[in-house]
Amino acid sequence: MSDTTTSGVSSVLDDNDVSVSDLANHVQSLTDRIDGLEQQVTEKDKQIDEVEAKLTQKNQRIAELRMTVQQSVTRIEELAQRIKDLESEADEAKAHRKAITRKTQSCDERVDELQAREFEKGAHLLAGNVEEDRISVEGSKLECITKDDGKTYFRLPGEDDALGRGGSVAHSTADLLPLQRLARYDDEMLASVTNRKPDELAGKAWRERDDASRYSLWSKGSGEIRAYLDASDLAEWIRLKESGVSKKYSQELARRTMDAMHELSKNRLGKIKRQRSKDGLSYQETRLVLKDDVELPGEVTKENADGNPTTDGVAGE
């Protein structure tokens, strides 16, 4: 190339120095921009991968939940069918129970009729085998008796047992003292058959003496006294048994109850006055006593070691 040409090119480059520099800067800026975009794209790709992984997990969870729901639906259907089966079984059991009830009732009616006819023939039947209120006999009344064997029987009043089972009659309900008869009633019946509160309390108090293992109200005596009851103990017992009774009124009730027990025992229970001291004060107190030589109807006796009849701890039976 000639010097003239070289000189011309140099002249052109010199004239465009500013433009090339700007272009280089622009190219560098574009390169940096591209690098930045590539970095963003890389980060976006990573975020997309994370989102896709989470989406995959969610899809798996949804599939598991769908399977659980399907299993639950199947279980519900099985339980519904089981309920239907159980309802059917319950209906069958109910029908069976009704049939058994009808059959049992029929058998009970037959037994009641047979027992009634046996009573009319003079039979004595063990009390534990008889439902007294269901037996229909002439006069509509049965008598409760105790025989030598110590067992309780039902019979028509005054009828002797042709078979002689249980020995002779030790006593009948009619033989019992009024106090003993009252003691046989439960609390509800006792309240309905007595017109006076002292009579009701007398029956309850005598019932306490029936429990020979306890004797919480009565005290065991000694010598000629078999058992005794003090007015103060009776008053305290009344306060415990009867709600809303004051101390003063319980003492009055105790006095009236002792009078009722004396009367209802047909004077077999005696009353004595005894001197008593409490809190430095001396006063007279009424004591109700059952003497050892007093015979009470219906007491079961047994032979003692000397061969003499003695009375056990149970009265009013």
**239 occurs within a structural domain:** yes
- pTM more than 0.75: no
Q: 165 and 75 in one domain?
A: no
Please list the residues that pair with 125 across neighbouring strands.
154
Cβ atoms 176, 298 nearer than 8 A:
yes
Range of the domain at 132: 121-173
217 located within any domain: yes
CA atoms of 134 and 308, how far apart (whole Å): 42
Same domain (yes/no): 280, 250: yes
Q: Distance of CA 210 to CAs 114, 173, 221, Å?
A: 35, 16, 15
The separation between CA 235 and the C-alpha centre of its own chain, rounded to angstroms, equals 32
Is residue 27 domain-resident? yes
Q: Has residue 10 been placed in a domain? A: no
- Residue 172 confidence (pLDDT): 64
pLDDT at position 255, please? 94
pLDDT at site 83: 93
Residue 6 belongs to some domain of the structure: no
**Shared domain check, 181 and 163:** no
Please indicate, yes or no, if residue 100 is contained in any of the structural domains: yes
| 89 and 149 belong to one structural domain | no
pLDDT < 70 regions, the chain: 1-18, 139-140, 170-174, 210-215, 279, 298-317
Same domain, 208 and 168: no
Residues 184 and 169 grouped into a single domain: no
pLDDT at position 305: 32
| Domain count along the chain | 3
Q: Are residues 246 and 288 in the same domain?
A: yes
Residues 39 and 86 in one domain: yes
211 in a domain, yes or no?
yes
Residue 316 lies in a domain: no
Domain match, 196 and 137 both: no
The answer to whether residues 251 and 215 belong to one domain is yes
The count of residues in the chain is 317
Residues 150 and 239 in one domain: no
Are 225 and 302 members of one domain? yes
